[in-house]
Amino acid sequence: MNLKTISRQDYTLNKELAYLLGVYLTDGSITEKNFQLQAIDEDFVTSTHNYLKTIIPKTKSYVRKRYEITGWNKNPRYVIKVGIGDLAPWFENITNKKHHLPFNIWKANDGLKRWFIAGIMDGDGWISKTKRPNSEQYQYRIGIGGVMDGWIGEFRELLNSFSVKCNKIERLQTKDGKWFCRFHINPQSFFNSKLFFTIKRKKERCIIASTTTR
């Protein structure tokens, strides 16, 4: 797969590109002709960088580590900035600048859709662990949130196409007046549909949750 082919043909997909589209819609960004990502999970950023290198094999970019001086979260951030040339406007156009799911995902096979969903879930998805009241057992919840209205409704439809049970979309307002959307996902239906995270800390919780959640 070469860059010219990708930029000409919207239906040319592999698992790496499908995953990158999911990451771009969530934590990723395009600045000029660069794909950028900043996150606290080193394995997430490293994997994304490796997938970008399969498309741009001659890149000299690398993963940088940056420390936050201000803000409540002082965990180090891992950062990449990869020049992707003509692929940059392709990411923007096929998602209408992060407002919609790419139409080629709807036409992709289930395997590629699962990798796209993994990119979304690694970016804005979560799996929580809370102790049940009056019990030694824990309850696990899966959800996606912190995103603006737009593609999240389409993403819920995509999950439904895999028979994943999802709650209604909630729209919440932050203290600074910004609106964001979220919804919860039934964990067992997520696992039964063979959907997954790739981030280590999320995967580890999924392994436990898949054997304890019914």
Domains of the chain: 3-97 (3.10.28.10), 121-212 (3.10.28.10)
Position 2 scores a pLDDT of 43
Mean pLDDT over each residue of the chain, to the nearest integer? 88
Does residue 44 carry a pLDDT above 70? Answer: yes
Q: What are the tens digits of pLDDT across the range 140-168?
A: 899 998 677 689 999 999 999 999 999 99
More confident residue, 18 or 145: 18
Sign of CA dihedral 182, 148, 17, 82: negative
Percentages (nearest 5) of helix, strand, coil residues in the chain? 40, 20, 35
Rounded CA-CA distance 62/80 in Å is: 6
What is the predicted pLDDT for the residue at 3?
39
For the residues 64-86, what does the mean pLDDT come to? 85
Angstrom distance (rounded) from CA 188 to CA 212: 9
Q: How confident is the model at residue 7 (pLDDT cuts 50, 70, 90)?
A: very low
pLDDT at 5 over 50: no
Task: State the pLDDT at residue 6.
Answer: 40
- Distance CA(38)–CA(33), nearest Å, equals 17
Residues forming a β-bridge with 123: none
Query: How confident is the model over 98-114, as a mean pLDDT?
Result: 94
Q: pTM of whole model > 0.75?
A: yes
Amino acid 133: pLDDT: 78
Which residue in 184, 173, 202, 190 sits closest to 145, CA to CA? 184
Which of these ranges, 27-31, 60-64, 150-154, 208-212, has the smallest mean pLDDT?
208-212
> Is the CB of residue 87 less than 8 Å from the CB of residue 138?
no
Alpha-helical runs (H) found in 26-126: 42-55, 87-94, 103-106, 110-124
Q: What whole-number percentage of the chain has pLDDT above 70?
A: 90
Query: Is pLDDT above 80 for 82?
Result: yes
Q: What is the pLDDT of residue 184?
A: 95
**pLDDT computed for residue 9 by the predictor:** 44
Region of residue 177 (left: phi > 0; alpha: psi -120 to 50; beta: else): left
pLDDT of residue 177: 82
For residue 45, which of 26, 70, 69, 32 has the smallest C-alpha distance?
26
Provide the 3-class DSSP secondary structure of residue 209: helix
Query: What type of residue sits at position 203?
Result: K
pLDDT of 4 strictly over 60? no
Q: What is the pLDDT of residue 138?
A: 79
Which of 198, 142, 194, 188 lies closest to 22 in space, CA to CA? 198
23 token code pair: 């990451």
Alpha-carbon distance of 101 to 103, in angstroms, equals 6
Q: Is 185 helix (H, G, I), strand (E, B) or coil?
A: strand
State yes or no: pLDDT of 126 exceeds 90.
yes
178: amino acid identity, one letter: K
Q: Give the model's pLDDT for residue 71.
A: 66
Residue 34, pLDDT > 60, answer yes
